[in-house]
Amino acid sequence: MTNTKGRLYGIGVGPGDPELLTLKAFRLLKSASVVAYQSADNHPSVARSIVASYLTDDQIEVPFHFPRALDPHEAKPLYDRAIVPIAEHLAAGHDVVVLCEGDPLFYGSFMYLFTRFADQYHTEVVPGVSSPMACASAIGIPISYRNDIFSVLPATLSADVLATQLVNADAAAIIKLRRHFSKVREVLRSLGLSSRARYIERATMAEQRIISLDEVEADRVPYFSMILLPTKVQL
């Protein structure tokens, strides 16, 4: 029996530099007839902008939107509705490539598609260069070494939890800073860690910025930013 169902591909497009795509992601993107990506009304898709120069006019583009910061029970019906256009393409037998900034399954919204489609359709994930790795390369300081414990901490955690986790980590990436930046900076200062930490904004994008924590204007911290706390091991 011929399987006429479409296949779903979540491809990591990396942190910003269009050259940081894997060959596999590039091949799938070039051969895709349907390309989907997250896009809110007033926020153009960063994942799409990364690969814009590789897209062609004959590709069908399918923007979709998962609203942020909702209670999971409230979010479920909205997310179910958001994926309807993708479901229609898959049911019609079209392969769909979903563009994911960084890596699809590292704090990525592709997981909402994966959990909804993987048992019905052939679903494949193509890993991407993730932002902590891009930021580590940008600052050019080894992040973790030998037996170091490297922690990834969302800045949305409380100051107490952040402090406990940072005390137990040898190195860390603190992501999702935006309006939580001041809280994180205070925690790092209180632990005597702020001089070792680096702030990186829009790593590998044309507007990349690397500055010390003291230089950051807390009310201008963009979504694509993180603080890296590199290893304390002196090499």
Ligand X SMILES: C[S@@+](CC[C@H](N)C(=O)[O-])C[C@H]1O[C@@H](n2cnc3c(N)ncnc32)[C@H](O)[C@@H]1O
Q: Which residues bind ligand X (CB under 6 A)?
A: 15-16, 101-103, 106-108, 130-131, 134-135, 175-177, 200, 202-205, 223-226
C-alpha angle 25/31/33, rounded to 5°?
115
Nearer to ligand X by Cβ, of 8 and 134: the residue is 134
In angstroms, what is the minimal distance from the CB of 170 to ligand X? 20
In angstroms, what is the minimal distance from the CB of 5 to ligand X? 27
Nearer to ligand X by Cβ, of 193 and 226: the residue is 226
Nearer to ligand X by Cβ, of 70 and 92: the residue is 70
Minimal CB distance residue for ligand X = 102
> How far apart are alpha carbons 234 and 16 in whole angstroms?
30
Looking at 126-172, list the stretches that DSSP marks H as alpha helix, in order from N- to C-terminal side. 131-139, 159-168
In angstroms, what is the minimal distance from the CB of 23 to ligand X? 18
Instruction: Report the amino acid identity of residue 63.
Output: P
The packing angle between helices 72-82 and 110-117, to 10°, is 80
Beta carbons of 224 and 201 less than 8 angstroms apart: yes
In angstroms, what is the minimal distance from the CB of 56 to ligand X? 25
210 to 28, 139, 158: CA distances (angstroms): 33, 7, 25
In angstroms, what is the minimal distance from the CB of 103 to ligand X? 4
Report DSSP state, residue 204: T
Nearer to ligand X by Cβ, of 131 and 144: the residue is 131
Nearer to ligand X by Cβ, of 6 and 216: the residue is 216
Strands 225-229 and 198-201: antiparallel
